[in-house]
Structure 1
């Protein structure tokens, strides 16, 4: 997993992160706003928290561009992160579970990553 912190462009923003999540096979973006009293330290705004949700780094960059200063080389950096880290094939396996005839209790399946 890669994670790059960007400089917020507004004092109402605490922090902004973008990166590549190998396990989910997606680019992601997290925006934390000042004064957000989320007890679980969850991002105020986010994308890329589902399997292969964001396949293009420009979508993650577009999501944060109004909240942070985006370096010109960020898309190339994120693309290199994804190429270097690759993807985990577990999402493909989980995707075919819907076709299984017998219900599978995912609470008792060991996670491969």
Structure 2
């Protein structure tokens, strides 16, 4: 499994983190958006896609989901493709 932490967009001060990656066990990419934590609390999950089998099979679809929340670094698509190739479906 891979996981990358993306920087929320500057206008999304309500967010703590956006995480993406490849889950070979579920044969899907995933995206999790965490809200800003309240004092002494864990960040709340605001969006979680890719938690069922083959839900997000393409990198382009994954990146379309997260672009409204986070900055997508150049080369991320290639890394995610490589992760899927390195850890194929279980």
**Fold shared, TM-score > 0.5 on shorter chain:** yes
The residue that corresponds to 1:59 in the other structure is 61
Q: CA–CA distance in 2 between the matches of 1:42 and 1:28? A: 17
CA offset at residue 75 of structure 1?
A: 1.0
| Runs ≥4 residues deviating over 4 A | 39-42
Q: Which residue of 2 is the match for residue 2 of structure 1?
A: 2
The Cα RMSD (Å) is: 1.8
Which stretches in structure 2 are left out of the alignment for 5+ residues? none
1:82 partner SS: helix
Q: What's the CA shift string for 1:31-60, capped at 9, x where partnerless? A: 011257xx8866210211000111101111
Query: TM-score of the superposition, structure 2-length normalised?
Result: 0.86
Q: Is the 8 A contact 2:15 2:33 kept in 1?
A: yes
Normalised to the residue count of structure 1, the TM-score between the two structures is: 0.69
Change in 2 beyond 3 A, CA 1:4/1:68: same
Structure 1: segments with no counterpart, 5+ residues: 89-113
Matches of residues 20-31 of structure 1 in structure 2 within 5 Å? 20-31=22-33
Higher relative contact order (CA 8 A, sep 6+): 2
How many residues end up aligned between the 2 structures?
86
Alignment map for 1:40-79 (pairs within 5 Å):
43-79=45-81
Aligned equivalents of 1:42, 1:83: Cα separation in 2:
31
Higher percent of residues as strand: 2
